[in-house]
C-alpha cells in the first residue's frame, strides 16, 4: 500500500479560488457533482492539473495566513479546526493526480510530478515553519488541559503540536532555511527514483523469441505474454513483464533454466547502472535524510521516523528483526535442503543436469517440492481462483459476514480506464457508505505491486464519504479468457481490501485523524488481519470453484491447500526480513557514513552479512536500487511495519477464533474498536482496548510455522 502521510491540506471554500483563474471549466475548481464526489475522470485533462495546483496552493496560503495573523486569542476552532478546513482544492487535485500518476501515468504527468514535487514541499514547509502559526498552536497545546476538549479533539491538538515540532517549527531561522532546502531536494530525488524505477521495470521486461521457451506456462499466461508483446509492437514474440519484487511469478513454472536466469537477472539488476541508474539517487537520499534528522535533533533518520511509530525506537525494530531473521533462515535452509535433494535426484535419474540451487531455481523447484509433499501445485488450484468469483464470493462475502456490507457494481459512473470497476458500498442498514474502485491489471504505465489509496477521504467535518481504490498487478489475459489468480494473488486481494475497509469504515470527524492516517506499523494491521480469511476453510470453500463448471474445489484438494500454508514461509519471511534490515541499515546511518553511488551495493551486501542474512539462494525481496517503498513510497525506515503489524493481526486472528470466528458480533466489535477509529487514539491504545492485553508474537510464529532460536545464556 502507498502509505497516506497526514498532510495539512484538507479543506477550503470554492469562493477563495474564484479569482485565481479566469477559467471556469477546470473540473477541480469546485467539488465534483458526482456521487460521493467521485472525480469526473471523463472531464479531467492533464492541462487541468497545474492550474489547480497553483490555485490550491495560493488559496491555502491565504487561509493559513489569515489563521496565523488572526488578532483574536487562539481557540481550538479558530486555529486547529480552521487548519483542518484549509486547502480543500489542493486536496482534491493532489489526491486525483497522485492516484492517476501511479496507476495510469504518461510522460506529461511525470513532468508535472517532477515540477510540482519541490514546490509542494516548499508549500508545506511554509506552513509547518510559520512562527506565528506555530505560536498559536503552541499556546493552545500549553493550556490543553483547560480547553474542555472531547477526546477526539484533544488527540487532534496533540497531533498538530507534534507534527509542527517534528517538521522543525522550533528550529532557529538558519536551521529552518537548511531544512527547507533539504526537503525541497529530497522531494525531487525521491520523485526521480520512482520515475526511474517505472522506466527500468518497463525496459527490463524479457523478450522471448521462441514459444518453446515458455514451456511450463499455462495457455492463459502465454497469451498474456503475447498480448504484452503486441502492445510493444513485437507481434509474434512474447514479453515477460516485471513485477516490483526481486523474484518474478513466472519463475515458478518456466522449465527453461536459462530463461529463468534471464528473468531473475533482469529483475535483480534494475536501477543498478545503465540509463535508469538509481544508485546515485540512493546515496544522496540517504545522506540528506540523515542530515534532516540531525537538524531536528536525532542521531539518525530511523530514530526520527520511529519515534512517531508504534515501535518507538530503532532498537525495538532491530530486536524484532533480529529475532525473526534467524528463525526464518533456519527454516529457509531446511527448505533449501529439500529442494537440493530434489534437484540431485532428478540429475541422478538423468532427467536434468546437476547444479547448486540458485535464486532463479528456488520458485520452480519449491513448487515441485511442495507438490511432492502435499500432492498439488498452483496449476491445479488456479482454475478455482477466477478473479470475479474470488472478489464476490470471497472478499465481499467476508465483508458481508463480518460487517453486513453489500456491494453494487456501478457502470454509470466515469472511470479513467475501461477496465476499472466501481462498486457502491452499503452498510448493514442499507445506508450508503462510499465507493470502491478496482484497478486489477498490470500495464507498463502503472507502478508495480499492490496498494490502496483514497480519491476522497471520509471526513465527518464535511459530511464527506470515502472513495477508495484498490490496485493490483495481475497479468491481463486475451479477451474472452478467464482471469485466473495464483494463491498469492488471492491473498494480496484480501490484503488490499483490508486497507479498503479501514478507509470505508472510518467514522472520524477530522481529516488528519481519519481512515488510514495512522502510523505505518499500524496501517498494515487491518490488511494483514484480512488475509487470514483465505485460510479459513468455510471462506475458501465458498469462493474456490472451478470457473468452467462452478463445481467447488474437491475437499481433498482443499485440505491440501490448507495444510500447505506454512510451506515456504522460511523463504518468504527471510526475503522480507532481509529487505527490512536493508531499510534500517540505510536509515540508521549518520550523514557522513552514506556511501557514494559506487558503494551502494557493497553497503547493502555488508548490511546483510552483518545481520546474518546473506544467504545466496534467498535474495532480499527488494534490492536497494528498486526498493520503492523506502526511497520513493513513504515507508522510509518503516518497511518493518508489515511484520510488526502482522503480530497484531495474528493476535486478532486468535481472538476471532476464540470468540466464534466469522460472525457479525465479532466483526462489529473490531469495526467499532479499530476500523472506524482512524488515529482518534494512539495505535497501542486502540489495539489493547480491542484485544484486552499487549501483543504477543506467538500466534505469528504459529501462523508462519517458525520457531524462535533459544536465547543464549548471558
Q: What is the pLDDT of residues 561-618, one digit of tens each?
A: 988 888 999 999 999 999 999 999 999 999 889 999 999 999 999 999 999 999 999 9
Catalytic-role residue among 496, 569, 604, 646: 496
Would you mind telling me the total number of residues written for the chain in this entry? Answer: 714
Tell me: do 119 and 229 sit in the same domain: no
Tell me: do 97 and 142 sit in the same domain: yes
Question: Would the pLDDT of 12 be above 90?
Answer: no
**Least confident among 98-102, 220-224, 301-305:** 220-224
Tell me: do 98 and 157 sit in the same domain: yes
Question: Would the pLDDT of 687 be above 60?
Answer: yes
Other beta carbons within 10 Å of 318: 17
As a whole number, mean pLDDT of residues 112-122 equals 97
Tell me: do 166 and 21 sit in the same domain: yes
Mean pLDDT (the chain) is: 94
User: Which pLDDT does position 149 carry in this prediction?
Assistant: 98
pLDDT band at 711 (very low <50, low <70, confident <90, very high): low
Last residue of a domain, one of 170, 190, 221: 170
Tell me: do 56 and 147 sit in the same domain: yes
Question: Would the pLDDT of 252 be above 80?
Answer: yes
Could you write out the three-class secondary structure of 326-362?
HHHHHHHHHHHHHHHHHHHHHHHCCCCCCCCCCCCCH
User: Which pLDDT does position 24 carry in this prediction?
Assistant: 59
Q: What is the pTM of this model?
A: 0.91
Residues 289 and 235: their CA atoms lie apart, in Å, by 46
Tell me: do 108 and 246 sit in the same domain: no
Please report whether residue 666 resides in a domain. no
7 vs 576: which has the higher pLDDT: 576
Residues 390 and 394: their CA atoms lie apart, in Å, by 5
Residues 56 and 38: their CA atoms lie apart, in Å, by 18
DSSP letter (8 states) at residue 484: B
Tell me: do 31 and 116 sit in the same domain: yes
User: Which pLDDT does position 710 carry in this prediction?
Assistant: 66
**Least confident among 59-73, 537-551, 699-713:** 699-713
Question: Would the pLDDT of 23 be above 80?
Answer: no
Tell me: do 71 and 165 sit in the same domain: yes
User: Which pLDDT does position 352 carry in this prediction?
Assistant: 86
Other beta carbons within 10 Å of 424: 17
The CATH number covering residue 98 comes to: 1.10.1370.40
Range of the domain at 54: 14-170
Please report whether residue 97 resides in a domain. yes
Please report whether residue 232 resides in a domain. yes
Last residue of a domain, one of 170, 191, 225: 170
Residues 623 and 58: their CA atoms lie apart, in Å, by 40
pLDDT tens for 325-358 read 999 999 999 999 999 999 999 999 999 899 999 9
User: Which pLDDT does position 6 carry in this prediction?
Assistant: 33
Q: Percent of the chain beyond pLDDT 90?
A: 91
Question: Would the pLDDT of 275 be above 90?
Answer: yes
As a whole number, mean pLDDT of residues 78-98 equals 98
- DSSP-assigned letters across all residues of 396-428: HHHHHHHH--EEEEESSS--SSTT-EEEEEE-T
User: Which pLDDT does position 418 carry in this prediction?
Assistant: 96
Q: How many domains does the chain have?
A: 2
Cα 104 to chain centroid distance, Å, stands at 17
As a whole number, mean pLDDT of residues 116-127 equals 97
566 vs 293: which has the higher pLDDT: 293
Tell me: do 123 and 215 sit in the same domain: no
- Active-site residue flag, 337: no
**Least confident among 408-417, 427-436, 589-598:** 589-598
SS3 (DSSP) at 436: strand
User: Which pLDDT does position 377 carry in this prediction?
Assistant: 83
Please report whether residue 693 resides in a domain. no
Question: Would the pLDDT of 56 be above 50?
Answer: yes
C-alpha cell at position 660: 466464534
Tell me: do 224 and 164 sit in the same domain: no
Last residue of a domain, one of 119, 143, 170: 170
Contact, 452 vs 500, CB < 8 A?
Answer: yes
Please report whether residue 471 resides in a domain. no
Please report whether residue 612 resides in a domain. no
Please report whether residue 237 resides in a domain. yes
Please report whether residue 140 resides in a domain. yes
pLDDT band at 148 (very low <50, low <70, confident <90, very high): very high
Question: Would the pLDDT of 475 be above 80?
Answer: yes
pLDDT tens for 517-565 read 999 999 999 999 999 999 999 999 999 999 999 999 999 999 999 888 8
Question: Would the pLDDT of 5 be above 80?
Answer: no
Tell me: do 123 and 220 sit in the same domain: no
As a whole number, mean pLDDT of residues 361-379 equals 90
Tell me: do 219 and 115 sit in the same domain: no
DSSP letter (8 states) at residue 450: -
Contact, 473 vs 547, CB < 8 A?
Answer: no
426 vs 562: which has the higher pLDDT: 426
Amino acid at each position: 500500500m502507498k502509505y497516506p502521510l497526514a498532510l495539512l491540506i484538507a479543506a477550503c471554500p470554492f469562493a477563495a479560488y474564484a479569482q485565481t483563474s479566469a477559467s471556469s471549466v477546470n473540473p477541480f475548481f469546485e467539488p465534483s457533482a458526482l456521487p460521493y464526489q467521485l472525480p469526473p475522470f471523463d472531464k479531467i485533462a492533464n492541462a487541468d492539473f497545474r492550474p489547480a495546483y497553483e490555485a490550491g496552493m495560493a488559496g491555502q496560503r491565504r487561509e493559513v495566513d489569515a489563521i496565523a495573523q488572526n488578532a483574536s486569542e487562539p481557540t481550538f476552532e479558530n486555529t486547529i479546526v480552521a487548519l483542518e478546513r484549509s486547502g480543500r482544492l489542493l486536496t482534491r487535485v493532489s489526491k486525483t493526480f497522485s492516484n492517476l500518476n501511479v496507476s495510469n501515468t504518461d510522460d506529461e504527468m511525470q513532468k508535472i510530478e517532477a515540477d510540482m514535487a519541490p514546490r509542494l514541499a516548499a508549500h508545506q514547509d511554509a506552513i509547518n515553519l510559520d512562527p506565528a502559526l506555530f505560536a498559536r498552536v503552541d499556546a493552545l497545546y500549553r493550556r490543553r488541559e483547560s480547553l474542555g476538549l472531547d477526546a477526539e479533539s484533544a488527540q487532534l491538538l496533540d497531533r498538530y503540536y507534534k507534527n509542527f515540532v517534528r517538521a522543525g517549527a522550533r528550529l532557529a531561522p538558519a536551521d529552518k532555511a537548511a531544512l527547507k532546502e533539504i526537503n525541497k531536494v529530497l522531494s525531487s530525488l525521491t520523485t526521480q527514483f520512482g520515475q526511474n524505477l517505472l522506466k527500468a521495470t518497463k525496459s527490463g521486461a524479457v523478450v522471448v523469441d521462441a514459444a518453446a521457451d515458455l514451456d511450463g506456462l499455462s495457455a492463459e499466461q502465454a497469451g498474456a505474454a503475447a498480448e504484452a508483446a503486441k502492445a510493444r509492437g513485437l507481434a509474434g514474440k512474447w514479453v515477460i513483464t516485471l513485477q516490483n519484487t526481486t523474484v518474478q511469478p513466472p519463475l515458478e513454472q518456466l522449465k527453461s533454466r536459462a530463461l529463468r536466469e534471464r528473468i531473475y537477472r533482469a529483475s535483480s539488476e534494475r536501477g543498478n547502472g545503465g540509463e535508469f541508474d538509481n544508485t546515485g539517487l540512493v546515496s544522496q537520499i540517504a545522506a540528506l535524510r540523515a542530515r534532516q534528522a540531525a537538524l531536528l535533533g536525532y542521531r539518525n533518520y530511523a530514530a526520527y521516523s520511529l519515534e512517531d511509530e508504534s515501535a518507538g525506537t530503532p532498537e525495538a525494530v532491530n530486536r524484532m528483526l533480529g529475532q525473526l531473521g534467524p528463525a526464518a533462515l533456519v527454516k529457509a535452509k531446511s527448505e533449501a535442503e529439500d529442494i537440493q535433494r530434489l534437484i540431485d535426484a532428478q540429475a541422478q535419474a538423468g532427467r536434468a543436469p546437476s547444479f547448486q540451487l540458485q535464486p532463479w531455481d528456488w520458485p520452480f523447484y519449491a513448487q515441485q517440492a511442495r507438490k511432492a509433499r502435499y500432492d498439488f501445485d498452483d496449476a491445479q488450484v488456479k482454475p478455482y481462483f477466477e478473479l470475479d468469483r474470488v472478489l464476490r464470493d470471497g472478499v465481499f462475502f467476508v465483508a458481508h459476514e463480518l460487517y453486513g456490507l453489500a456491494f453494487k457494481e456501478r457502470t454509470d459512473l466515469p472511470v479513467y480506464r475501461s477496465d476499472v470497476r466501481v462498486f457502491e458500498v452499503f452498510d448493514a442498514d442499507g445506508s450508503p457508505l462510499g465507493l470502491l474502485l478496482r484497478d486489477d491489471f498490470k500495464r507498463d504505465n502503472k507502478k508495480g505491486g499492490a496498494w490502496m489509496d483514497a480519491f476522497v477521504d471520509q471526513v465527518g467535518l464535511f459530511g464527506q464519504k470515502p472513495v477508495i481504490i484498490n490496485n493490483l498487478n495481475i497479468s491481463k489475459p486475451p479477451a474472452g479468457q478467464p482471469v485466473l489468480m495464483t494463491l498469492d494473488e488471492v491473498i494480496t486481494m484480501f490484503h488490499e481490501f483490508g486497507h479498503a475497509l479501514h478507509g470505508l469504515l472510518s467514522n472520524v470527524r477530522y481529516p488528519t485523524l481519519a481512515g488510514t492516517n495512522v502510523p505505518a506499523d499500524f496501517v498494515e494491521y487491518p490488511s494483514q488481519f484480512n488475509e487470514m480469511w483465505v485460510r479459513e476453510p468455510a471462506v475458501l470453500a465458498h469462493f474456490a470453484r472451478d470457473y468452467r463448471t462452478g463445481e467447488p474445489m474437491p475437499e481433498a484438494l482443499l485440505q491440501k491447500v490448507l495444510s500447505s500454508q506454512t510451506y515456504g514461509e522460511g523463504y518468504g519471511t527471510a526475503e522480507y526480513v532481509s529487505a527490512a534490515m536493508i531499510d534500517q541499515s540505510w536509515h540508521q546511518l549518520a550523514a557522513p557514513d552514506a556511501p557514494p553511488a559506487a558503494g551502494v551495493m557493497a553497503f547493502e551486501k555488508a548490511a546483510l552479512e552483518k545481520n546474518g542474512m546473506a544467504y545466496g539462494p534467498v535474495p532480499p525481496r527488494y534490492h536497494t536500487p528498486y526498493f520503492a517503498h523506502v526511497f520513493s513510497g513513504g515507508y522510509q525506515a518503516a518497511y518493518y511495519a508489515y511484520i510488526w503489524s502482522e503480530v497484531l493481526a495474528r493476535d486478532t486472528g486468535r481472538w476471532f477464533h476464540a470468540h466464534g470466528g466469522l460472525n457479525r458480533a465479532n466483526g462489529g466489535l473490531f469495526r467499532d474498536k479499530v476500523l472506524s477509529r482512524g488515529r482518534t487514539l494512539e495505535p497501542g491504545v486502540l489495539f489493547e482496548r480491542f484485544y484486552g492485553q499487549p501483543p504477543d508474537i506467538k500466534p505469528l510464529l504459529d501462523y508462519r510455522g517458525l520457531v524462535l532460536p533459544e536465547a543464549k545464556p548471558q
